[in-house]
């Protein structure tokens, strides 16, 4: 499958800023989707509000753009109404971590058979750069001009604790691992969650001395620590989060039976 | 084959310059019609896929996968013969 068989060439070039990681996620998703030979007509794309949620508008398949934070609630409904459909959710950190946090925890707890791809850019990019739940400690934004005094939310850890079947986190630098993780997430029965750390040079970078996309790309290399490496260092993820760093890797693979499906 | 830069889609973020392990790209300094500076493939012979003929057996592909604007595609006619 060519890239523009899955995406709509008539709407290209897309609206994302130069250096935004969402385009990379689209590339990796296209690779994963075409490797699996999935049926476009049997797949539903759901998203909420935000930059990341604009992906579904570019996909040549049935998609639904829901209210802010309720993407997972709608996706649960679609999956239960017609279990033959593959349901894929694209969402941002504001959608999944902040306003839809409750839906996220409960969808993972129920283990609904959906795949969630959360593109985390550490800021509310579309509304002008306010601090989000995942903004790193001591970093600047429009609402935290003296540096954020709050500790960030670790979405992948929340998903592990809530009982998701597959959880992974990669940055957009790890394109190969991200592609194979997306394939695994779509094959896995039950709630699978892939968090993608993505640069936002326009809203996050400009206020943190990383206005150039390549500088943000280097920043992702510095903050990301492999899971195995952090275990060897004897640091847990909370310590790393306080330092403003993240762990990357595959966090869990379980085989709990999914909700609403007759096994 | 070699990588082809589409100046209509490129937004000049220069991530391909950064990501290429063999430094095949250089930052461009010619303005495209959309007002960005697309990169140039300065050293195509350094690309890992220079001697490969089809997209199917391409290796690496970091630039094509990373490009957020889908401006990089494989040109199967380009590069060396045989």
In chain A, where the domains are located: 27-221+238-244
B44: CATH:
3.30.70.20
SS3 annotation, chain A = CCHHHHECHHHCCCCCCCCCCHHHHHHHHHHHHHHCCCCHHHEEEEECCCCHHHHHHHECCEEEECCCCCHHHHHHHHHHHCCCCEEEEEEEHHHHHHHCHHHHHHHHHHCCCCEEEEEECCCECCCCCECCCCCCCCCCCCCCCCCCCCCCCCHHHHHHHHCCCEEEEEECCCHHHHHHHHHHHHHCCCCEEEEEECCCHHHHHHHHCCCCHHHHHHHHHHHEEEHHHHHHHCCCHHHHHHCCCEEEEEEEECCCCCCCCCC
Instruction: Compute chain A's Rg from CA coordinates.
Output: 17
Task: List CB contacts of A41: < 8 A, sequence separation 6 or more.
Answer: A61, A62
In a domain, residue B33? The reply is yes
Closest to B65 (Cβ–Cβ): which among A13, A28, A213? A28
* pLDDT exceeds 90 at position A141: yes
Q: Does the CB of B76 have a partner CB in chain A at under 8 Å?
A: no
pLDDT cut 70: percent of chain A above it: 99
Residue A158 phi/psi, 5° resolution? -60, -40
SS3 B74: strand
Tell me whether residues B68 and A217 touch, CB distance under 8 A. no
Residue A234 pLDDT grade (very low, low, confident, very high; cuts 50, 70, 90): confident
Q: Kindly list the residues from chain A whose CB atom is less than 8 angstroms away from the CB atom of residue B17.
A: 214
Range of the domain at B7: 2-75
Q: Kindly list the residues from chain B whose CB atom is less than 8 angstroms away from the CB atom of residue A22.
A: 68
In a domain, residue B21? The reply is yes
Q: Does the CB of B58 have a partner CB in chain A at under 8 Å?
A: no
Per-residue pLDDT at A261: 66
Tell me the ipTM for this assembly: 0.93
Q: How far is A73 from chain B (nearest CA, A)?
A: 29
Q: Does the CB of A220 have a partner CB in chain B at under 8 Å?
A: no
Q: Does the CB of A5 have a partner CB in chain B at under 8 Å?
A: no
Per-residue pLDDT reduced to its tens digit, B7-49:
999 999 999 999 999 999 999 999 999 999 999 999 989 999 8
What's the mean pLDDT in A96-102? 91
What's the mean pLDDT in A87-105? 92
Cα-based angle A154, A155, A161 (whole degrees, multiple of 5): 95
Per-residue pLDDT reduced to its tens digit, A40-50:
999 999 999 99
Measured torsion, CA atoms of residues A179, A35, A57, A203, in degrees rounded to the nearest 10: 10
d(CA A195, CA A26): 14
| Average pLDDT along chain A | 91
Measured between CA atoms, the residue of chain A closest to residue B59 is: A176
Handedness of CA B41, B45, B47, B52 (dihedral sign): positive
Q: How far is A204 from chain B (nearest CA, A)?
A: 16
* pLDDT exceeds 60 at position A79: yes
The architecture (CATH level 2) of A27-221+238-244 comes to 3-Layer(aba) Sandwich (3.40)
Tell me whether residues A217 and B11 touch, CB distance under 8 A. no
Tell me whether residues A23 and B15 touch, CB distance under 8 A. no
Total domains, chain B = 1
In a domain, residue B16? The reply is yes
In a domain, residue B81? The reply is no
């Amino acid at each position: 499958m060519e890239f523009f068989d899955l995406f709509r060439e008539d709407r290209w070039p897309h609206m994302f800023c130069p250096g935004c990681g969402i385009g990379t996620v689209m590339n990796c998703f296209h690779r994963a989707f075409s490797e699996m030979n999935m049926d476009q007509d049997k797949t539903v794309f759901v998203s909420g509000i935000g930059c990341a949620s604009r992906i579904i508008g570019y996909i040549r398949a049935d998609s639904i753009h829901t209210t802010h934070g309720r993407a997972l609630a709608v996706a649960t409904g679609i999956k239960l109404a017609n279990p033959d459909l593959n349901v894929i959710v694209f969402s941002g950190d504001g959608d999944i971590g902040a306003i839809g946090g409750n839906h996220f925890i409960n969808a993972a707890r129920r283990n609904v058979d959906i795949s969630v791809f959360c593109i985390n850019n550490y800021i509310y990019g579309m509304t002008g750069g306010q601090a989000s739940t995942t903004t790193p400690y001591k970093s600047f934004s429009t609402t935290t001009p003296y540096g954020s005094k709050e500790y960030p939310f670790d979405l992948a850890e929340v998903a592990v604790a809530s009982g998701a079947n597959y959880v992974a986190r990669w940055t957009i630098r790890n394109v190969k691992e991200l592609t194979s993780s997306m394939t695994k997430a779509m094959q896995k029965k039950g709630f699978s969650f892939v968090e993608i750390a993505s640069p936002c040079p326009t809203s996050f970078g400009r206020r943190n001395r990383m206005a150039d996309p390549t500088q943000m790309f280097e920043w992702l290399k510095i903050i990301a620590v492999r899971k195995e490496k952090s275990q060897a260092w004897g640091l847990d993820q909370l310590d790393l989060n306080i330092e403003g760093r993240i762990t990357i890797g595959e966090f869990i693979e379980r085989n709990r039976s999914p909700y609403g499906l007759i096994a | 084959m070699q990588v082809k830069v589409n100046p209509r889609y490129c937004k000049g973020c220069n991530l391909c310059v950064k990501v290429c392990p063999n430094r095949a790209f250089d930052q461009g300094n010619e303005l495209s019609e959309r007002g960005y500076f697309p990169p140039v493939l300065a050293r195509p012979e350094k690309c890992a896929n220079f001697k490969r003929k089809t997209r199917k057996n391409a290796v690496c592909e970091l630039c094509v996968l990373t490009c957020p604007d889908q401006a990089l595609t494989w040109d199967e006619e380009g590069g060396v013969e045989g």
